[in-house]
Amino acid sequence: MNMYTKGVFGRSRMFSIVIWAVLYGLSYSLTQLVFPAAVPYAVLTCAVLLLVWLGYRRRLRALRISSPVLNGTAGISSPALLLILVPLLILPAANLISGGSFASGSTVVLMLGAVLVEEVFFRGVLLAKPGTFDTPLLAWLTEQPDYVRALLSSGLFAVFHAVNAIGGEAWLQIVPQMVCAFCAGMLFAAVTLRTDSLLPAAAGHFFVNITAAEENTCTLPTAFGCMFCLAAGILLLAASSIQRGKTHEAIH
């Protein structure tokens, strides 16, 4: 383990990951406010991702940034994988029905950077495998049941969207975003844990972002999509728990 990784994951810097996420949120909102174009934010995002890669490259597998679901080591059959991934398309479809459209240009760059950084923290760090961290708090978190970590990850993901207030958005728009973020976060967490990869949830998150209507209003289709995500996430977590229980019984 190199010195950079020790500094980030070690006990002397236990809140560095949280600070990183907060700074990211502030930079996201402030650059939107000061620079309408996404170029400054895109440069900042690339710099952050480069530093993360340099420091975390020996632990990326533990943060689920590798892709077992794609290389066949996640133990999921093709029909089961289809059932897991299809729900990720429901909320983007609801966005399009509600008047959203596919973003283009600088917005896509902005959203791609947002998705990558957010997924590494909310689904990578908070859902990391046991033994990833030596910091007591994070080590304790990795030992908790999946539903506890999914709830925590989704709750923090929802609260994190309050930073949009810095960019000038009204709370009447932000609160529905937070509710939707929690519901979608439950599905993203469940899919990440089941597939052992950040890629499916990151793709779903990206499509949600680029299809969202500019007004960010809560419509019946988006409300349905959010409730569907929440229900699908809970069912997938329950199914995964039952499967692990049967596997454990078979072994013993």
Give the model's pLDDT for residue 23: 61
250/145 Cα distance (integer angstroms) = 20
Domain count, the chain: 1
By percentage, how much of the chain surpasses pLDDT 70?
Answer: 64
By percentage, how much of the chain surpasses pLDDT 90?
Answer: 29
3-state secondary structure of 99: coil
Q: What is the CA radius of gyration of the chain?
A: 18
- Asked if residue 3 has pLDDT above 50, the reply is no
Which range marks the domain in which residue 142 is found? 3-251
Q: Looking at per-residue confidence, does 80 or 68 come out higher?
A: 80
Give the model's pLDDT for residue 148: 95
List all residues 6 or more positions away from 41 whose beta carbon is below 8 Å from its beta carbon.
Answer: 27, 28, 31, 32, 35, 109, 110, 113
Average pLDDT, the chain: 77
Q: Looking at per-residue confidence, does 102 or 52 come out higher?
A: 102
